[in-house]
Amino acid sequence: MATRHLVRTIVLQSLYEWDFYKHQNDLLKIVERNVNEFGPGIDEPDFVWRLVKGVIEHLTEINAIIEKAAPEWPIDQIAIIDRNVLRIGLYELLYADKNEVPPKVAINEAIEIAKNYGGINSPKFINGVLGTVFRQMVEQKDNTNS
């Protein structure tokens, strides 16, 4: 398993636990415990923290984007795994350095994680939401360039 893929799964696991307990537990302690347990010696520990902090810093905007892209699914009715895969994917798609994580990589990684940890329909749902957001990004870029 590639280091960044492992990092994303650790971040997903941490966000899942934090979300499951309604944000009552200290997310940074959860992440630290999970990194020590599941990723000792990770090549890029800073990538873990960039992802976690990025998702949390943009959580309100990310949740609003999810609700807009999937209006028939209120955020609290989306499975916890899917909700947090989307949060990671959207953070990488919208806010991360595009040279570090190109948009198509962000989408593909989210789909792969959904295949491994989500339900049978998770990959399709994740692809649909992230694909919609990506198309909107491309359209906005095209409109500003024309």
Mean pLDDT of 45-72: 95
Single out the residue of 94, 36, 98 nearest to residue 63, CA to CA. Answer: 94
Mean pLDDT of 44-62: 96
Neighbours of 134 (CB within 10 A): 19
Inform me whether the pLDDT recorded for 1 exceeds 60.
no
Segment 78-130, tens digit of pLDDT: 999 999 999 999 999 999 999 999 999 999 999 999 999 999 999 999 999 99
Q: According to the model, what pLDDT value does residue 41 have?
A: 86
Q: How does residue 2 score in pLDDT terms, banded at 50, 70 and 90?
A: low
Entry pTM: 0.94
